[in-house]
Amino acid sequence: MITLGEYIVKKQAEYPSATGELSSLLSSIRRAAKVVNREINRAGLAVDIIGGSSGSENVQGEVQQKLDVYANDMFKAALEARGEVCGIASEEEDHFVAFDSESHSNAKYVVLMDPLDGSSNIDVNVSVGTIFSIYRRISKPGEPVTMEDFLQPGINQIAAGYVVYGSSTMLVYTTGHGVHGFTYDPTLGSFCLSHENIRIPEEGTIYSINEGNYIKFPDGVKKYLKYCQEKDDASKRPYTSRYIGSLVSDFHRNMLKGGIYIYPSGTSAPNGKLRLLYECNPLAFLAEQAGGKASDGFRRIMEIKPTSLHQRTPYFVGSTRMVEKAEEFMTQYSSPAAE
């Protein structure tokens, strides 16, 4: 078995110009994931961690679970422990966090993350996850990190990934050279290569959306859902509806089996619920590297220029043909202005 650490070193050796800093950064994420995984697996026992909300809200006005705060602290500490990262931005932080020591001010990278996606499902034992995104800083090394370093379009990502904490724990990442998955072996304490060069089927038979919000959806989404539910033996319709309510879990299933995940505008979140920087861009990078597609219904997600740290966007991601078909319905029945 090849461990994640061994695989990172192997891939680094294939690029003579690599300095090892990105590899070290990914190792920090790996370590923090192992700690968070341990706490999640103690869910029924660690009432000080799992027992409901923390009593506070994040900048989006969402109630923070205790494990949200714990996971955020663990990943932030792991990234600060080494000198590769000059700052982080997190869904759980109001503002970006600059690492102020001299070694950090010369660092090349910034990290954006959702430390614990789907945390509202913790108490009912549904899979949750961590999403991360890595960029090369724009500001001058040696100076404090700036907002400009974080408000970069997704096409500037140099690495992205997620960890899904479920029946087995997996870490999946890309550095722009394919998508690779590693399953955690608790007997070894290591993530081991289990899914090399993951490819999303061009077309699947699963659609993932919270249909409870149907009445509020744009007409393009309503028409697409009717298309998914129509019988057509040639295209294997009707499709199957599968919605966990944990983005990482829904995305992970669809990436392996083929499918589309949709979170449109027109719900209780007028601009969509998902965050461009912490959720949509990193998963879009992974989807594209695996042969899939990600869109806001009209344009490529990774080409959107962010204007704020916690910016939200409608989201269509998964098998290429399914996303393209959804875009056709959006173009015909909805308008970008309405989105």
Consult the annotation and say whether 279 binds a ligand.
yes
Consult the annotation and say whether 185 binds a ligand.
no
How far apart (Å, rounded) are the C-alpha atoms in residues 328 and 298?
A: 9
How far apart (Å, rounded) are the C-alpha atoms in residues 60 and 71?
A: 18
Helix axes 21-40, 66-80, angle to 10 degrees: 150
Burial 210-245 (b: 16+ CB within 10 A, else e): eeebeeebbebbbbbbebbeeeeeeeeeebeebbbe
Specify the DSSP element, H or E, that contains 236: none
Contact 294, 287 (CB under 8 A): yes
Q: Which residue in 18, 41, 253, 32 sits closest to 165, CA to CA?
A: 41
* DSSP-assigned letters across all residues of 131-190: EEEEEE--SPTTS---HHHHS--GGGEEEEEEEEESSSEEEEEESSS-EEEEEEETTTTE
Consult the annotation and say whether 116 binds a ligand.
yes
Consult the annotation and say whether 210 binds a ligand.
yes
Consult the annotation and say whether 117 binds a ligand.
yes
Q: What are phi and psi of 244, to 5 degrees?
A: -85, -35
Consult the annotation and say whether 119 binds a ligand.
yes
Consult the annotation and say whether 120 binds a ligand.
yes
Consult the annotation and say whether 135 binds a ligand.
no
Contact 21, 109 (CB under 8 A): yes
Consult the annotation and say whether 273 binds a ligand.
yes
Feature table: binding site for Mg(2+): 91, 114, 116-117, 279
Feature table: binding site: 91, 114, 116-120, 210, 243, 273, 279
Feature table: binding site for substrate: 117-120, 210, 243, 273
